[in-house]
């Protein structure tokens, strides 16, 4: 069931509006949306309600990442004490990944951010992911990078209960990306390394261009964005965004 | 003079890459950008350097709005004292508008924001514009609205040095929009009420879909976005974004 608004229909124009326009049982059109279709001579096509799932519809679930830290084992020791083990708080969408009970404080040249969540398990390299907004708070302006691509990035100081770490590099703003398992990728006709366009379908129909697709058996389908991107596109974890297909013709009316 | 990067060229793919690709005197291509064109068999077209201006190139200057308040005269009285006049601090891009020396504190159900700038001159209706991020801080979640469209929006409490105002409605997240004078609109082939696509050209090639064009002799060319949108698209006031022309064919390679 969906509420179909004129704004939503306008966002569909970029990839060409389906004609007839499919609606499933229980879908509701606002009066303005109904007028919008009528003005364009587009009839409705009523489909039986079924659990079509998101995969067949070029839709992706959204995962919003707040600022967080991945720690190398020796940095866990320095921040929390020798041999310390992180305590899982909740599982994340990606298999084996968890948000830990533990947090640290980030100290930058102009300010600090406390209660910054650690994500586990530990990694080879410590990496700190913040938003551009966070960067203004800290007074440091890291580049947009994919996870693990840390060469030449700025450092930051981490403070834990047992000590601190002055990281020489490893601070990034995460580049948005899609995670998918090989099966999910196949259904969505995506390949590892593809760069796609992804559009929010709500009050702010932002299109994220140049979104990189990462395919791995370890991954589950998710479009990862940071908090600035989520707020600019009015998205929340669990929302759905659509892939704009390659070679689609865009029409604005 | 411009530094042309591979990332920038990729953002151009959406509207089709110019072939030959025009560069003006002083433009520099990164090695990856030069390879990118070479791989596609696209030669460079060297244009004489000239002050082409932004208008002929479908480019718009960006104006980022931080949270701010427009006050009705009787609210100025209540917050700052009977007959108080706002003191201009600096002119804004739109004619006659100014940022005032005066600020207020916004009090929401969960938190407050201090030093929120007042923009002058006074208006018929008091209106408070915040970002979605600010809304989480205050604990209130206003809709995305164009300026002046306040029916059914939530209220907020304003606190000034001489008193406070419990506004019953008037809190919005501003919908992004383009201001243009009639001359500027004509050159850019835009009409009042047009809904256009606008793309950031930097590290985050976000496309803002459904951007409304407002044309008036009072206006000067500017693409107005809030701080969340600016951070998500890695934009700063004075940066330049491009209009994606209507009926352009989009190609992803």
Which candidate from B197, B229, B250 shows the least CB-CB separation from A232? B229
ipTM of the complex: 0.76
- The distance of A182 to chain B (nearest Cα, Å) reads 21
| CA–CA dist B103, B119 (Å, integer) | 9
- The distance of A195 to chain B (nearest Cα, Å) reads 8
| CA–CA dist A186, A184 (Å, integer) | 5
Model confidence at B168, in pLDDT bands (50, 70, 90)?
very high
Residue with tokens 């005269």: B73
B246: pLDDT strictly greater than 80: no
Span A166-175, pLDDT tens digits: 999 999 999 9
Structure tokens given for B74: 């009787």
Residue with tokens 């908090």: A227
A204 touches chain B (CB under 8 A): yes
The mean pLDDT of B14-32, rounded to a whole number, is 76
Q: Are A197 and A185 in contact (CB under 8 A)?
A: no
Looking at every residue in chain B, the average pLDDT score rounds to 89
Q: Are A130 and A142 in contact (CB under 8 A)?
A: yes
A248: pLDDT strictly greater than 60: no
Taking CA–CA distances from B15, the nearest residue in chain A reads A250
- The distance of A90 to chain B (nearest Cα, Å) reads 23
Model confidence at B170, in pLDDT bands (50, 70, 90)?
very high
B52: pLDDT strictly greater than 50: no
Contacts of B204 in chain A (CB under 8 A): 144
Residue with tokens 């006049």: B85
Flag if A210 and B7 touch (Cβ within 8 Å).
yes
Flag if B231 and A132 touch (Cβ within 8 Å).
yes
Q: Degrees (nearest 5) of the Cα angle A174, A178, A184?
A: 160
Does B11 or A104 have the greater pLDDT score? A104
Taking CA–CA distances from B233, the nearest residue in chain A reads A229
- The distance of A144 to chain B (nearest Cα, Å) reads 7
Flag if B231 and A131 touch (Cβ within 8 Å).
yes
CB atoms within 10 A of CB B171: 26
| CA–CA dist A229, A221 (Å, integer) | 18
Residue A7's φ and ψ, nearest 5 degrees, are -60, -45
Structure tokens given for A237: 């974890």
Model confidence at A46, in pLDDT bands (50, 70, 90)?
confident
Beta-sheet strands, E only, within A25-111? 28-29, 44-47, 59-65, 68-70, 88-91, 98-107
């Amino acid at each position: 069931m969906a509420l179909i608004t004129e704004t939503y229909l306008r966002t569909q124009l970029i990839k060409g509006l389906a004609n007839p326009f499919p609606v499933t049982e229980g879908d509701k059109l606002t009066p303005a949306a109904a007028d919008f279709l009528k003005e364009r001579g587009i009839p409705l096509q009523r489909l039986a309600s079924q659990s079509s799932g998101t995969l067949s519809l070029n839709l992706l679930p959204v995962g919003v990442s707040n600022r967080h830290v991945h720690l190398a084992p020796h940095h866990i020791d320095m921040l929390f004490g020798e041999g310390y083990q992180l305590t899982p708080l909740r599982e994340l969408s990606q298999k084996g990944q968890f948000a830990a009970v533990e947090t640290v404080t980030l100290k930058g040249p102009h300010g600090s951010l406390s209660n910054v969540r650690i994500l586990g398990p530990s990694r080879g390299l410590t990496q700190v992911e913040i938003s551009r907004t966070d960067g203004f708070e800290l007074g440091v302006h890291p580049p947009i990078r994919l996870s693990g691509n840390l060469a030449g990035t700025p450092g930051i100081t981490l403070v834990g209960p047992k000590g601190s770490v002055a990281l020489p590099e490893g601070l990034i703003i995460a580049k948005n990306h899609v995670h998918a398992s090989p099966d999910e990728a196949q259904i969505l006709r995506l390949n590892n390394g593809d760069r796609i366009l992804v559009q929010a379908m709500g009050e702010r129909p932002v299109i994220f261009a140049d979104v990189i697709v990462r395919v791995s058996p370890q991954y589950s389908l998710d479009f990862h964005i940071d908090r600035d991107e989520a707020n600019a596109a009015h998205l929340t974890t669990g929302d759905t965004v659509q892939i704009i297909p390659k070679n689609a013709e865009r029409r604005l009316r």
